[in-house]
Amino acid sequence: MTVSNSVSTVMGLVDAIEQRRAARSFKPDPIPEAVLMEILRLGLRAPSGYNLQPWRFLVLREAKHKEKLQACAFGQRQVAEAPVVLICCGDRRVNSREYVESIIQLGVDAGSMSDEYADVMRGAVPQLFDAQPSFETLEAWTNRHVMLAVAHLMVAAKGFGVDTCPMEGFATAQVKEAFQIPDQVDVCCLLPMGYADTPLKTYGGRFAIDQVCYEETFGKSLSD
Ligand SMILES: Cc1cc2nc3c(=O)[nH]c(=O)nc-3n(C[C@H](O)[C@H](O)[C@H](O)COP(=O)(O)O)c2cc1C
């Protein structure tokens, strides 16, 4: 279908969203390198507050590393079976002056950063982290962002025919220790990726729009 950076999607956006399932079992077939890189590239297009991009992904492909991770994930089989597993992390240190300057430079290089906005960022990012008006903990902040990127990754992957399984079934402390993840980095989820073995998990249903979307007031159904 669409050819992007020399790899082709096998389905469009609507089908990718509708057909994505959390795969519990994977075939051993590897994900072609170009496909994996394209999925990662698209996943990293996710939005983030002040474009801070706090997500960090450990890409595991070696059996011994996947088995080590499986031991931290209550033995869930998809972790060892999938050809690729991402440990999806959020780095709390993105408010450092040096890091903010790197984001400003990214904007300068992309032609989208004005001097005025650069100064706004220099002032606002430390303030956001000090005052925390929209989050209770920095872990909530990192999770907010990382999971958006994970959602992008899952839909992008499905577009290329690659299945995924978002996972919160793991012991954070064990994963951090096993993979030497720094203290100020949160492990937000695991994402096994590959080609699902059949039968694929069936669709579990979703609430109707008017059960979860409210009209102006919390709790007031759109259809009332
Ligand atoms: C944050 C999150 C954590 C999850 N953790 C696990 C997990 O540890 N193991 C697992 O098999 N599935 C896990 N799932 C998959 C869900 O069970 C699955 O997404 C849900 O049942 C809906 O099914 P679907 O994704 O196939 O539509 C998780 C999903 C999310 C979004």
- CATH number for the domain spanning 44: value is 3.40.109.10
Residue 100 resides in a domain: no
Q: Which helix (H) or strand (E) holds 84?
A: strand 84-91
Residue 209 resides in a domain: no
Number of neighbouring beta carbons within 10 Å of residue 199: 7
Q: Is 18 a pocket residue for ligand 1 (Cβ < 6 Å)? A: no
Q: Is 104 a pocket residue for ligand 1 (Cβ < 6 Å)? A: no
Q: Is 118 a pocket residue for ligand 1 (Cβ < 6 Å)? A: no
- Single out the residue of 51, 26, 68, 50 nearest to residue 181, CA to CA: 68
**Residue 159 tokens, joined:** 């577009």
Q: From the CA of 165, how far away is ligand 1's center (Å)?
A: 6
Residue 8 resides in a domain: yes
Say if residues 112 and 57 touch (Cβ distance below 8 Å).
Answer: no
Asked whether residue 2 carries a pLDDT value surpassing 60, the answer given is: no
Q: From the CA of 203, how far away is ligand 1's center (Å)?
A: 12
Where does the pLDDT of residue 5 fall: very low under 50, low under 70, confident under 90, or very high at 90 and above?
low
Where does the pLDDT of residue 188 fall: very low under 50, low under 70, confident under 90, or very high at 90 and above?
very high
Q: Put residue 23 in one of left, alpha, beta given phi > 0 → left and psi -120 to 50 → alpha.
A: beta
Residue 218 resides in a domain: no
Domain that residue 14 falls in: 3-90+138-196
Q: Put residue 120 in one of left, alpha, beta given phi > 0 → left and psi -120 to 50 → alpha.
A: alpha
15-19, 34-38, 102-106, 218-222: least confidently modelled range: 218-222
Nearest CA to ligand 1 atom 5: 167
Q: Is 204 a pocket residue for ligand 1 (Cβ < 6 Å)? A: yes
Asked whether residue 3 carries a pLDDT value surpassing 60, the answer given is: no
Average model confidence (pLDDT) across the chain? 96
Angle at 62 between CA 39 and CA 180, to 5 degrees: 90
Residue 47 resides in a domain: yes
Number of domains the chain is built from = 1
Residue 28 resides in a domain: yes
Q: From the CA of 33, how far away is ligand 1's center (Å)?
A: 26
Mean pLDDT computed over 190-202: 93
> What is the C-alpha to C-alpha distance for residues 105 and 39, in angstroms, rounded to an integer?
25
Asked whether residue 43 carries a pLDDT value surpassing 90, the answer given is: yes
Residue 193 bridge partners (DSSP): 84, 164
Asked whether residue 22 carries a pLDDT value surpassing 60, the answer given is: yes
Mean pLDDT computed over 19-37: 97
Q: Is 94 a pocket residue for ligand 1 (Cβ < 6 Å)? A: no
Residue 128 resides in a domain: no
Q: What are phi and psi of 148, to 5 degrees?
A: -65, -45
User: How are strands ordered across the β-sheet holding 84-91?
Assistant: 55-60, 84-91, 185-194, 163-164
Residue 111 resides in a domain: no
Q: What is the pLDDT of residues 121-162, one digit of tens each?
A: 999 999 999 999 999 999 999 999 999 999 999 999 999 999
DSSP calls for 14-43:
HHHHHH--B-S-B-SPPPPHHHHHHHHHHH
Residue % of the chain over a pLDDT of 70: 97
